[in-house]
Amino acid sequence: MVALSTREELKTLAERAGRDLEGASALEILGWADEQFGSSWAVASSMADAVVPSLAAKVRPGVDVLFLDTGYHFAETIGTRDAVAATLPVTIRTLTPKQSVEQQDASFGARLYERNPDQCCALRKVMPLRAALKDYSAWASGLRRDEVATRADVRVIEWDEQRSMVKINPIAAWTQDDVDRYIADNGILVNPLLSDGYGSIGCWPCTRRLKPGEDARAGRWSGTGKVECGIH
């Protein structure tokens, strides 16, 4: 493990690795992260599937997997989290906002997600994740370039300017076919909502089933112009 103490050293490391590891396998990318950071990296998972947690567990059994329990999840998503915890050699850390849904309603009014979805996401997702990631030097996600145009330039290793840490995107170059193949070949757990018309799964008030021909994330914050929660 390399000791890197300054922000600029970490940023330089991330930028160089983003170039050098382009074309590497997901396991090679995660292996690099483990070599650099030891136990000081974690995976963030929405529990749409267990692809990245399963890959990470092959590199570091017991790896921390961060799950944001917003208070608005589908029951199927909570069930997927529990199944992942029971069947994979990972450590699930469930993160919760400072306020419950009821407390947030009292502070900001009911259905904040309708009136100000950016604020709702900030309170229930962005801020809890930011607080949890202070315990680590790097974090991994399941971002892929083919998901939506705003993610087309994602690198396999990036500098997370928002949090001043290294971001690992081991399946950035995978296609949906690659994901489906890995799931089938390895018996990976998948959120059952993906077989019920949903392409991307978030909080139930802001997620709908897809219409024919829509891209996978079209069902998120439909009609609002919002395409990301602010985490990435």
Q: What are the pLDDT digits (tens) for 66-106? A: 999 999 999 999 999 999 999 999 999 999 999 999 999 99
Lowest model confidence (mean pLDDT) among 4-8, 18-22, 110-114, 141-145: 4-8
Rg (CA), the chain: 17
Compute CA distances 202 → 7, 27, 158, 217, whole Å: 32, 26, 24, 10
The pLDDT value given to residue 226: 72
Q: Does residue 164 lie within any of the structural domains?
A: yes
Amino acid at 144: R
The pLDDT value given to residue 5: 59
Tokens representing residue 78 in the block: 């909570």
Tell me which residue range forms the domain holding 144: 7-191
Total domains, the chain: 1
Among candidate residues 182, 177, 160, the one with its CA nearest the CA of residue 169: 160
- Number of helices and strands (H, E) in the chain? 9, 6
Among the listed residues 120, 121, 206, 229, the single catalytic one is 229
Gap between the Cα atoms of 181 and 177, Å rounded = 6
Q: Does residue 43 lie within any of the structural domains?
A: yes
pLDDT grade, residue 185 (50/70/90)?
Answer: very high
| CATH, residue 62 | 3.40.50.620
Q: Does residue 204 lie within any of the structural domains?
A: no
H or E, element range at 78 = helix 75-87
What global pTM score does this model have? Answer: 0.92
Q: Does residue 200 lie within any of the structural domains?
A: no
pLDDT in tens, 11-41: 999 999 999 999 999 999 999 999 999 999 9
Q: Does residue 2 lie within any of the structural domains?
A: no
Gap between the Cα atoms of 48 and 202, Å rounded = 9
The pLDDT value given to residue 125: 95
Q: What is the 3-state secondary structure (H, E, C) of 129-179?
A: HHHHHCCCCEEECCCCCCCCHHHCCCCCEEEECCCCEEEECCCCCCCHHHH
Catalytic residue flag (residue 229): yes
Q: Does residue 226 lie within any of the structural domains?
A: no
| Count of Cβ atoms closer than 10 Å to residue 59 Cβ | 20
The residues that bridge with 67 in the sheet, in sequence order, are: 94
Gap between the Cα atoms of 200 and 177, Å rounded = 16
pLDDT in tens, 191-202: 999 999 999 999
Q: Does residue 199 lie within any of the structural domains?
A: no
Tokens 């407390």 correspond to: 103
Q: What average pLDDT is seen over the chain?
A: 93
Q: Does residue 88 lie within any of the structural domains?
A: yes
Helix axis angle, 26-37 relative to 51-59, nearest 10°? 50
Lowest model confidence (mean pLDDT) among 75-79, 100-104, 204-208, 216-220: 216-220
Beta pairing class for 41-44 and 165-168: unpaired
